Amino acid sequence: MKKSIYSILRGTFLVSDDSFKNWRIILFVSGLAIVMIASSHNADKKVYEIARLKNEVKEIRSQFVDGRSRLMRLKMESHVVGVMNKKGLWSSETPPQKIKVLTEEKD
């Protein structure tokens, strides 16, 4: 036990005759660690992008609702009448009448 701990601390397991197996495992584990770190960074980037897009959607949705409510107020008859009165137009006192056109049939 004591001998194996000393060999690990001194690094003799890396330079001994059968060290090729050790180097393969070390390189494999190092490669896996690099891949894991890269995928973690990629996932974090995507999470931040999703959060940014959600905030943007909320902002655009609130702008849409605000615009729709302003449009509803502008389309109200009382508002239209007020604007037309300022321009010198007013609503008619007599209601509109239907005009019927009779066509004569030719035999």
The alpha carbon torsion through 9, 14, 17, 23 (nearest 10 deg) reads 140
79 close to 73: Cβ distance less than 8 angstroms: yes
Packing angle between helix 19-75 and helix 77-86, nearest 10 degrees? 60
pLDDT at 12 > cutoff 80: no
**What pLDDT score does 107 carry?**
62
Of residues 35 and 106, more confidently modeled: 35
Please state the rounded mean pLDDT for residues 1-13.
75
92-102 pLDDT tens trace: 888 889 999 88
Handedness of CA 10, 15, 19, 20 (dihedral sign): positive
Query: Is the model's pTM score more than 0.75?
Result: no
Of residues 72 and 10, more confidently modeled: 72
35-89 pLDDT tens trace: 999 999 999 999 999 999 999 999 999 999 999 999 999 999 899 989 999 999 8
13 close to 7: Cβ distance less than 8 angstroms: yes
User: Which residues does 47 contact at the CB level (< 8 Å), separation at least 6?
Assistant: none
56 close to 62: Cβ distance less than 8 angstroms: no
